[in-house]
A and B are shown apart, each in its own frame.
Chain A
Amino acid sequence: MGRKKYYIIEIIGVILALLWLSPFYLMIVNSLKSKKEIFTDVLKLPKAFNLDNYIEAFNQLEFIKTFLNSLLITVISVAIIIIFSSMAAYALSRNKGKMSGVLFFIFVAAMLIPFQSVMIPLVTIFGKFQMLNRIGLIFMYLGFGSSLSIFLYHGTLNGIPKTLDEAAKMDGCNKFQTFWYIIFPMLKPITVTVGILNTIWIWNDYLLPSLVINQEGMQTIPLRMFFFFGEYTKQWHLALAGLTIAIIPVIIGYFFAQREIIKGISDGAVK
């Protein structure tokens, strides 16, 4: 195989990458234009570098507040999913009885249920108990997120020998201490995967928060973006600046953790 062949593949790859990036490019370039300029010249570069659209979109989105809302809900939900799913998976993997088998099956089977099938009663029931708020939302994320997380933890835990638990017990650890001091630290790679998968899902989730916490001031980024976009459909310059602002934190996160993210996704999908 000649070197020439690799050059051709390399060129094809780069062209594809440019194609892949073009939606982002078009979004950013046009977000710098005025309303009139977008109307007349979508394809050209902006006449002047002007951040006015960004300042206005930033204010209209109440971006700092919205960003903190998203951050709060995502961080707490993911932390709770990690803690409780790993504990549950530990119990299920250290007891191979009938009961564990049934419970594990229920957890895995729950992954097949589309959200729309439980959405209506879920909102009704939680509404009756005044739980359509952030605490309710975080609790729901635990319920929906636990299935895949337990599944992933369970696979890893099966590979950790029980003799470790026994040794810890000899040293006087109780079950909780054994888990937290000995086992949980060994689960770090899979914890990263579980954390990444759940973070991407919860950070970007629109439908569930739209049903549960739709009050002004509590909205997450996707929620706020939805209303913002509705108001500015005819004002693409502001809408595009808003979209760019919403994406920036994700791209920054991706820049710092891309190795872990891609590895996490691949581990999560292949297992």
Chain B
Amino acid sequence: MRTRDLSYWLFLAPVLIALTLVVIVPLLFGVYYSFTDWNGITSGNFVGFDNYIKMLHDDEFGKSLWFTVKFSVASIILINVIGLSLALVVTSKIKTSKFLRTIFFMPNLIGGLILGFIWQFIFIKVFASVGDVIGVEALKGWLSTTQTGFWGLVILMSWQMSGYIMVIYIAYLEGLPQELLEAADIDGANAFQRFRYIIFPLVAPAFTVSMFLTLSNSFKLYDQNLSLTGGGPFKSTQMVAMEIFQTAFGENQMAYAQAKAVIFFVIVAIISLTQVYFSKKREVEM
């Protein structure tokens, strides 16, 4: 098929039109809006970098950004540790392997919004009840403080995503050369040594993929944030995605929200590209 052919363009036309109208044009408009004082109704005036300068002094945005970063770091570590552990459990020669995979993966099929509501019940009602029974005060009033809200989100996210990451690790673990593992056994390697020197280096590419997925998922988290804590108490668990939404549709500061959205895009792009770059480099060295 040559680019001169009509059929080439006919094959591409539907997705090209859709991508252009849904992603590219809004992105360009968005960058333009971020330099205006547009409020969503009247067409705005050009104000240069005003919105971006305002952002530097915006405590709320700074806080949500920092909260998002902390959340992402905690989630990435936990999800990968749990995900790899689950993968190691279900790939060992146990009878319930298939059944366990099915269970661990299940939360990923259900929407983040619904999962957030389920966990809201567990944190508020069940935790309080358990706290009563075993006499631990700390279990009461979950989600009512910034700290418990933070861990609530991390627990929810880890429970949901570990099964997904497990599936990725399984794909690599099942491709491990058996001779190598047997050779290690014969040489008298213990379980830890087997893991440290054989399994871990060989599943490193899986780490690249899962790191990319966990990072971008936790950084862009919205549904779970909305339904579990709603950003509360006092917006202290509000992550960036939700903060942008609030600025735009809650406070009707469209242009300002758009400037935040542009910065958000830049951060996501830089993190994703750096992460992929370094992970790839590390893989080669191993």
Q: Which residues on B are within 8 Å of A, measured CB to CB?
A: 1-3, 5, 7-8, 11-12, 14-16, 18-19, 21-27, 29-30, 33, 40, 86, 89-90, 92-97, 99-114, 117-119, 121-122, 125-126, 128-130, 133, 159, 163-164, 167-168, 170-172, 185, 206, 209-210, 213, 219-220, 222-223, 226-227, 240-241, 244-245, 248, 254, 257-258, 261-262, 264-265, 268-269, 272-273
* A122→B18 contact, CB < 8 A: no
Taking the complex as formed, is A61 at the interface, i.e. its CB lies under 8 A from any CB of chain B?
Answer: no
A105 within 8 A of B: no
Contact check, A120 vs B257: say whether CB atoms are below 8 A apart.
yes
Contact of B104 among A20, A140, A266 (CB under 8 A): A20
Out of A30, A88, A121, A258, name the residue touching B15 (CB < 8 Å): A88
Contact status B159-A10, CB under 8 Å: no
Complex contact B100–A42 (CB within 8 A):
no
Contacts A88-B12, A116-B261, A175-B5 known; 14 new A-B pairs at CB < 8 A: A9-B89, A43-B130, A84-B15, A91-B12, A115-B220, A117-B30, A120-B33, A120-B257, A122-B22, A139-B22, A204-B113, A206-B112, A222-B111, A265-B164
Q: In the complex, which of the residues A17, A30, A91, A254 contacts B100, with contact meaning CB atoms closer than 8 Å?
A: A17
B102 to chain A: closest residue by CB? A258
A63 within 8 A of B: no
Q: Would A117 and B92 be within 8 Å (CB), given that A97-B3, A125-B25 are in contact?
A: no
Please tell me the size bucket of the interface on A.
Answer: 35 or more
A161 to chain B, nearest CB (A): 15
- Can you name 13 A-B pairs with beta carbons within 8 Å? A13-B94, A16-B86, A20-B106, A80-B14, A113-B268, A116-B264, A121-B258, A175-B11, A239-B121, A251-B106, A254-B102, A262-B167, A269-B171
CB-CB under 8 A from B92, the residues of chain A are: 6, 9
A117 and B265 form a contact (CB under 8 A): yes
Q: State the majority secondary structure of interface residues on A.
A: helix
Q: Are A27 and B121 in contact (CB under 8 A)?
A: yes
Residues from chain B with Cβ under 8 Å of A160 in the complex: none
Partner of A42, one of B94, B96, B126, B244: B126
Identify which of A12, A14, A266 contacts B171 (C-beta below 8 A). A266
A147–B19 contact, CB under 8 A? yes
B248 in contact with A119 (CB, 8 Å): yes
Which residue of A12, A92, A117 has the most chain B CB atoms within 10 A of its CB atom?
A117
Determine whether the beta carbon of A206 is less than 8 Å from that of B18.
no
Q: Which of A51-59, A185-193, A240-248 interfaces with chain B?
A: A240-248
Using Cβ atoms and an 8 Å threshold, which residues of chain B touch A251?
A: 106, 109
Are A103 and B16 interface neighbours, CB within 8 A? yes
Q: Which residues of A contact B (CB under 8 A)?
A: 1, 6, 9-10, 12-14, 16-17, 20-21, 23-24, 26-27, 30, 38, 42-43, 80, 84-85, 87-88, 90-92, 94-95, 97, 99-100, 103, 106-107, 110, 112-122, 124-125, 139-140, 142-144, 146-147, 150, 174-176, 179, 200, 203-207, 221-222, 225-226, 229, 236, 239-240, 243, 246-247, 250-251, 253-254, 258, 261-262, 265-266, 269-270
Shortest CB-to-CB span from A2 to chain B, Å, is 12
Q: How far is the CA of A143 from the CA of B19 in the complex (A)?
A: 4
A-side contacts of B219, CB under 8 Å: 114
Q: Are A200 and B89 in touch, CB under 8 angstroms? A: no
Of listed A38, A99, A116, A203, residue having the most chain B CB within 10 A: A116
Q: How far is the CB of B270 from chain A (nearest CB, A)?
A: 10
Q: Provide the residues of chain B in CB contact with A124, threshold 8 Å.
A: 29, 40, 254
Find out whether the CB atom of A250 lies under 8 angstroms from the CB atom of B14: no
Q: Which of A91, A116, A239, A269 contacts B11 (CB 8 A)?
A: A91
